[in-house]
Amino acid sequence: MNGNTISVERVIDAEPARIFALLADASQHSVFDGSGTVRGTRGSTTPLELGSKFGMSMKWGVAYSTVNTVIELSPQQRIAWQTTGFGGLIGGRIWRYELEPVDGGTLVRETWDISEDKQRFLLKRSSIPGVTEANITRTLERLAEAVSG
């Protein structure tokens, strides 16, 4: 992994507003998650706003939970949240979605940003970046399916 980010993009045949509505509803994240780790939300989740905190029930081998804080939000253009877990001892990674209207729909770019992650040096030297890139690709496929209906 070069740098601290991995981005994957895809054109989705839907208006930015429809895609953004799904991204800004944390209770729907398990619908389009391509990693299979997102199990559901904990607490109030909608609508997400700048500064909103929302909990996620996760499972990657073992069950765990995260607290996520919305750190960037521009309606129908961008949303990002920073994830922490285990009482703030781990985490700091940022999940960012950027939306741009284009011919044929919306260009959606998902970015995994570990520049502020407490474990970034370990993450960069593991297989996790490659797995994450594949998971992001699946997430964008599932997001396209979710908004096409």
Domain map of the chain by residue range?
Answer: 5-148
What is the tens place of the pLDDT at every residue in 90-100?
788 899 999 99
The CATH number that domain 5-148 falls under is 3.30.530.20
Task: Give the model's pLDDT for residue 47.
Answer: 84
What is the total residue count of the chain?
A: 149
pTM: 0.89
Supply 130's token pair.
């490659």
What is the tens place of the pLDDT at every residue in 105-136?
999 999 999 999 888 888 888 888 888 899 89
Q: Does 82 have pLDDT greater than 80?
A: yes
Q: What distance in Å separates the CA atoms of residue 99 and residue 105, rounded to the nearest whole number? A: 10
What is the tens place of the pLDDT at every residue in 25-69?
887 777 778 666 665 666 665 788 899 897 665 665 666 667 889
Q: What distance in Å separates the CA atoms of residue 60 and residue 127, rounded to the nearest whole number? A: 15
Find out whether 35 and 143 touch, Cβ atoms under 8 Å. no
Helix boundaries (H) for the chain: 16-23, 29-32, 120-124, 128-148
